[in-house]
Amino acid sequence: MILSQEEVNHIALLARLGLSNEEVERFREQLSNILENFAILQEVDTTDVPPTAQPIPLQNILRQDDVDSSLPCEEVMANAPRREGNYFRVKSVLGKS
Amino acid sequence: MELCQLTIHQAHELLKSREISSVELTKASLERISQVEEKVHAFVSISSPSISQAEASDEMIRKGEITLLTGIPVAIKDNMCTQGVRTTCSSRMLESFVPPYNATVVERLISAGMVMVGKTNMDEFAMGSSTENSAFSPTYNPWDVGRVPGGSSGGSASAVAVDEVIYALGSDTGGSIRQPAGFCSVVGLKPTYGRVSRYGLIAFASSLDQIGPLTKDVTDCAIVLNVIAGHDPRDATSVPYPVPDYTQSLLHNADTIPDLKGLRIGVPREYFVAGIQSGVDEVIRTAIGKLAELGAEVDWDVSLPHTSYALSVYYIIAPSEASANLARYDGVKYGFSYQEAGSMWDALEKTRQFGFGPEVKRRIMLGTYALSAGYYDAYYLKAQKVRTLIRREFDEAFSGSTTKKRFDALVTPTSPTVPFELGEKMDDPLQMYLSDVCTLPISIAGVPAISIPAGFVNGLPVGMQIIGKPFSEETLLRIAYAYEQATEWHKMRPLI
């Protein structure tokens, strides 16, 4: 298999995705299988071929920095899992929560 | 004919002449939903204000303010933001999310006088090909409820096929409009990347996502595209090109059927090999024969040799972009939030662990790996380079600059198989990914394609995909319309 258990755990950490032990093992197998299939790309000669990031020839779309109305605060905050006044409440980032 | 069976253009004529009201039409739609929804489960939610929207439409019609979409019931895929109406992406993560604004396409339909009867089910975050990845329930194919409707816009396709609504909107990242349209025997268009604004479409893969219509016939497809296409200052990837009147490409003398004289159609052979069912192969070859009968010049000997790499390119690029787009789901500003955690990091990881389903996690993992240090060049950058080669092949087919073979359109099956059985591919992600093998290259190239009903194999629908050069939706609609007028497939309805 292409991926080790440590690598799966490392990727999950990068993605901040909690996984159960069972998920780690299942993804190790499934992702290894999928990645093995991607190996066929290595047979394509891409010397001097530029990458395509998106398919339309538009670049650097600029607009005037006009003052416009924003969404009503109450409607935006209505989806907040935890709030305090007009602030989103989060667990402490530094030190103990 | 029941009112809910009408097309947009048929319903419009009756509304305009005041033979029916929008309230009657909407009630017919809701009545149909109450009859069949238990069997197909096309919706995540049915919106309560639809009758008041219908009353407002009737008022507009009384005042003579009628557009082609005024008063017509529509369903919208649940990944497009609807102000004040829950928008879930069929995910636990957004189960209670109520958007404070409308997607641009929704705003445009509101201006045209739409009546929204509900939000349709989908694969979670549009990741899937069967609508089985919905966190709530699968959607079932009305032609055989033991089979999948395709995905990810399976709810929209199923709702239109079974006459719960007159039309629907879907989104297509690698085939998510076209494949379910093919599986449910309705018309589904993925417009050119940039043709329709994605503002308010919950992002999956930003270089691929595009919104488009699912309708009962080609005329309706043109009517809806007229309303949703066009530049939007809120989406920097929407192009500032003029929008033609797409219904003009369908005009013909009433006493003749439209023909395809002067059009050159290519059949790329790579779409007829590995894994295609013989019944599907036969149906599509017969359908292409019909295009030739209608006057198109058909070349059966076209090759797009990089087609077989599209699957790998797509399943590197789309998950990579998804892993970045879905990083926003942290349980802070909206959506599911795991509260019992000890630390901030623990809360973040558990929010994502319990908020996302298996396929979404799989793609976040795949994308994160492809973008991670040491693997970026081998996977993501390589895929972007092969993407260039795939795009160049389409450009060549539509320009003929080196081969001197220039085509107005390419025609393929929409999917290599008829709708598969529920659960058949759920344990094998790679097999599931392969069901999009005919639609992925088009998304990678950013060109437009339409799927139209082309026949049946043992009572199961087969879709034909017509592919064009960028911004050639008029040509695709013209070909699709000529075929539709010469056949009866679009008139067939599932017995349910």
Residue-wise pLDDT tens digits, B355-371: 999 999 999 999 999 99
Report yes or no: A18 at the B interface, CB cutoff 8 Å: yes
A89 located within any domain: no
For the segment B119-131, the average pLDDT, to the nearest whole number, is 98
Mean pLDDT within A71-95? 91
* Domain of residue A10, residue span: 5-43
d(CA B482, CA B461): 19
Output the average pLDDT for chain A. Answer: 92
For residues B486-493, give the mean pLDDT.
96
pLDDT digits (tens, 9 = 90+) for B395-438: 999 999 888 899 999 999 999 999 999 999 998 998 899 999 99
pLDDT at B321 over 90: yes
pLDDT at B349: 97
Chain B residues lying within 8 Å of A33, measured CB to CB: 430
Region of poorest pLDDT, from B73-77, B273-277, B296-300, B335-339: B273-277
| CA-atom Rg of chain B in angstroms | 21
Average pLDDT score over residue span B344-350: 94
- The Cα B48–Cα B50 span in angstroms is 6
Distance between the two ends of chain B, CA-based, in angstroms?
Answer: 16
Helices (H), B212-297: 218-228, 278-293
**Could you tell me if residue A83 is inside a domain?**
no
d(CA B122, nearest CA chain A) in Å: 22
Q: Which has the closest alpha carbon to B190: B228, B237, B134? A: B228
Closest by Cβ to A80, choosing from B207, B334, B368: B334
* Catalytic residue ranges of B: 77, 152, 176
Q: What confidence tens digit (pLDDT) does each residue in A11-33 have?
A: 999 999 999 999 999 999 999 99
B449-457: strand order across its sheet: B43-46, B115-120, B73-77, B167-172, B210-215, B187-190, B449-457, B460-467, B409-413, B264-268, B297-302
Q: What is the mean pLDDT of residues B173-180?
A: 98
Q: Hey, is the C-beta of A27 within 8 angstroms of any chain B C-beta?
A: yes
CA separation for the pair B126, B172 (Å, rounded): 8
Is residue A33 a part of any domain in this protein? yes
Instruction: Write the pLDDT tens digit of every residue in B227-251.
Output: 999 999 999 999 999 999 999 989 8
| A 30-59 near B (Cβ less than 8 A) | 30-31, 33-35, 37-38, 40-42, 44, 46, 49-56, 58
Contact B110, B60 (CB under 8 A): no
pLDDT at B496: 87
Band of pLDDT at residue B225, cut at 50, 70 and 90: very high
Which residue in the set A11, A58, A78 is minimally distant from B239, CB to CB?
A58
What is residue B342's predicted lDDT score, i.e. its pLDDT? 85
pLDDT tens readout for residues B289-314: 999 999 999 999 999 999 999 999 99
User: Is residue B274 very low, low, confident or very high in pLDDT (cuts 50, 70, 90)?
Assistant: confident
Contact across the interface for A46 and B382, Cβ inside 8 Å: yes
- Residues B475, B477, B480, B486, Cα dihedral to 10°: -100
How near does any CA of chain A get to the CA of B60, in Å?
Answer: 28
Asked if A18 lies within 8 A of B353 by C-beta distance, the reply is yes
Q: What is the pLDDT of residues A66-79, one digit of tens each?
A: 998 999 999 999 99
- For chain A, give percent helix, strand, coil, nearest 5: 40, 5, 55
E strand residue ranges, B351-489: 409-413, 449-457, 460-467
CATH number of the domain at A18, please. 1.10.20
C-alpha span between B36 and B142 (Å, rounded): 9
Residue B484 has pLDDT above 50, yes or no: yes
A81 vs chain B: nearest CA distance in angstroms? 6
Taking the C-alpha atoms of residue A67 and residue B475, their distance in angstroms, rounded to an integer, is 41
Q: Domain B3-260+476-491: give its CATH architecture.
A: Alpha-Beta Complex (3.90)
pLDDT given at position A14: 97
Between B349, B384, B445, which is nearest A51 by CB?
B384
Average pLDDT of chain B is: 96
What is the model's pLDDT at position A59?
78
Least confident range of B44-53, B246-255, B391-400, B435-444: B246-255
| Domain assignment of residue A63, yes or no | no
Q: Which among B329, B365, B384 is the top mutation candidate for probing chain A, defined by the most A β-carbons within 10 Å of its own β-carbon?
A: B365
Whether the pLDDT of residue A1 is over 90: the answer is no
Res A19: pLDDT: 97
Which tokens is B377 given? 């060049």
Question: The complex's ipTM?
Answer: 0.95
What percent of chain B stands above pLDDT 70?
Answer: 99
- Assign B56 a pLDDT band (cuts: 50, 70, 90): very high
CA distance B226 to B12: 15
Report chain A residues whose CB lies below 8 A from the CB of B470: 55-56
Q: Provide the pLDDT for residue A97.
A: 45
User: Quick one: average pLDDT of B275-299?
Assistant: 97
pLDDT value for B43: 98
Nearest CA in chain B to A60: B236
Contact B114, B50 (CB under 8 A): no
Instruction: Give the number of domains in chain A.
Output: 1
The structure tokens listed for B191 are 């417009």
Nearest to B309 among A3, A40, A76 (CB): A40
pLDDT value of position A96: 57
The pLDDT > 90 percentage for chain B reads 93
Model confidence at A60, in pLDDT bands (50, 70, 90)?
A: confident
Residues in A closer than 8 angstroms to B241, CB to CB, are none
